[in-house]
Structure 1
Amino acid sequence: MIQLYHFALSPFCRKVRLVLAEKKLEVELVEERYWEASSEFLRRNAAGKVPVLRIDGATLSDSGAICEYLEETVPTPSLLPGDAAQRAEIRRLVAWFDDKFHHEVTSKLVYERINKKLTRAGYPDGANVKNGVKAIRFHLDYMGWLLDRNRWLAGPDMSLADFAAAAHLSCLDYSSDVDWNRNEGVRDWYAKVKSRPAFRSILADVVPGFRPAAHYADLDF
């Protein structure tokens, strides 16, 4: 049995869950309160971060490394399609969302409003929240620019770049932090990704103490 140690509102865990589901790999989800830094969990990943995947007798950490492993060992369907140039663009956009978008948006909104309360790390920083609200507009506009030129974010085919972006946006959408009226192209793109069978378990997530937005699981939002 494949096991994924995860936290429901971690975009990095959600990205891995989407890849596992798209490749039709059955997985046991193990909720991990990573902030408690238990000795058992630290033995799995000394960095104390999720996700951690147990598969084929190996214990893997870091969402990027996990996704690359799954792509190499279960190549169909490919989430790094195309030639070398397209694969480079996919990897660039994955890094964009997992680094720049995460730093400027996800960490400023989801982490401030939800994670801080769950981990008892204090109250939300108003300045951070304000900066996150401002930054997401830029990122939505950039995504719109990409989608004006491509069917999917990185080219003609759905890829890991789409899952990375959707993982972050789904966390933000849980708390209604995405203005879907800002860009029709982005909204239509997210509706396509959200409607995939791989997304079903994510739309069923409920974080204790935080109710999802009314439209969160609605495919016709």
Structure 2
Amino acid sequence: MYTLYHHPFCPHSRFIRLVLGEHGLDLRLVEERAWERREGFLVLNPAGTTPVLMADGFPPIPGAGIIAEYLDETHGLEAGERRLLPASMAERVEVRRLMAWFNEKFFEEASNPLVIERIYKRFMSEENGGGAPATDVIRAAKVNVRYHLAYIGWLAQTRNFLAGDRLTYADLAAAAHLSAIDYLGDVPWHEDEAAKAWYARVKSRPSFRPLLSEWLAGVPASRTYVDLDF
């Protein structure tokens, strides 16, 4: 049994939840509002960011990239052909490149500012940065989403999945970030049919169901969020 300190709309947390779901691993979720900088949570991860995975016999495992590597080392071999980080070095490099693209670049330019401004700020105190959403930040992030969506569409047109022939961490990372902002209706799916078709395939997987069942009080999900045939 794993315990994951997470926030339901933290894109990195969503990525790890998808990975754990693909492996079929039992999971206990503990919601953490990282901006509150709770002392008990800072003991687990001094960086004060989600997600943090707790596994019996191990110290706290912080951060999406580190958790993903840990899960591959502990469960990858038994997954066989369904391994999310492939065995060959060339494939591993490409998966890691794209995983970093979405967990770092997409996060910085698009998903993080949108989630902060449109979700987190609703729950933050003024001292923690709460308040009215910054419309200029939202506007810039929405523009960036369009460029990233076009890149995903190009990858989806040239490969079966984003990093190659089969599902990998790259697909789950991209889908996790998109899911958080798709809830808000901030993904212009009409602009790229290839990206839309790829996302529909990933979104239809059983590992995605727990994410799609979560709702935020006072913030209704977009029409496309739950619809598998959007």
Q: TM-score of the superposition, structure 1-length normalised?
A: 0.96
Which residue number corresponds to residue 99 of structure 1?
Answer: 104
Q: How does 1:154-193 map to 2 (within 5 A)?
A: 154-193=163-202
Q: What SS class does the counterpart of residue 216 from structure 1 fall into?
A: helix
Deviation at 1:42, TM superposition (A): 1.2
Which residue number corresponds to residue 220 of structure 1?
Answer: 229
**Which runs of 5 or more residues in structure 2 are unaligned?**
none
1:113 and 2:118 aligned: yes
Contact persistence 1:8–1:205 (CA under 8 A): yes
Contact persistence 1:81–1:157 (CA under 8 A): no
Deviation at 1:107, TM superposition (A): 2.3
Q: 2: distance between equivalents of 1:149 and 1:83?
A: 20
Q: What SS class does the counterpart of residue 167 from structure 1 fall into?
A: helix
Contact persistence 1:34–1:48 (CA under 8 A): yes
Q: 2: distance between equivalents of 1:91 and 1:144?
A: 19
Which residue number corresponds to residue 57 of structure 2?
Answer: 57
Deviation at 1:157, TM superposition (A): 1.1
Q: 1: distance between equivalents of 2:171 and 2:108?
A: 18
**Which runs of 5 or more residues in structure 1 are unaligned?**
none
Instruction: Please give the root-mean-square deviation of Cα atoms over the aligned residues, in Å.
Output: 1.2
Deviation at 1:214, TM superposition (A): 2.9
Q: What SS class does the counterpart of residue 74 from structure 1 fall into?
A: helix
Could you tell me which amino acid in structure 1 is paired with residue 35 of structure 2?
W
Could you tell me which amino acid in structure 1 is paired with residue 69 of structure 2?
E
Q: 1: distance between equivalents of 2:27 and 2:57?
A: 14
1:69 and 2:62 aligned: no
Identical counterparts, % of pairs: 46
Deviation at 1:82, TM superposition (A): 4.9
Deviations 1:35-88 (A, max 9, x none): 111111111111111111111222211110001100110011310125211110
1:9 and 2:18 aligned: no
Deviations 1:137-160 (A, max 9, x none): 111111111111101111111100
Which residue number corresponds to residue 37 of structure 1?
Answer: 37
Which residue number corresponds to residue 79 of structure 1?
Answer: 84
Could you tell me which amino acid in structure 2 is paired with residue 57 of structure 1?
G
Count of equivalent residues = 221
Question: Hey, which of these two has a bigger chunk of helix by percent?
Answer: 2
Q: TM-score of the superposition, structure 2-length normalised?
A: 0.92
Q: 2: distance between equivalents of 1:48 and 1:119?
A: 15
Contact persistence 1:94–1:165 (CA under 8 A): yes
Q: What SS class does the counterpart of residue 133 from structure 1 fall into?
A: helix
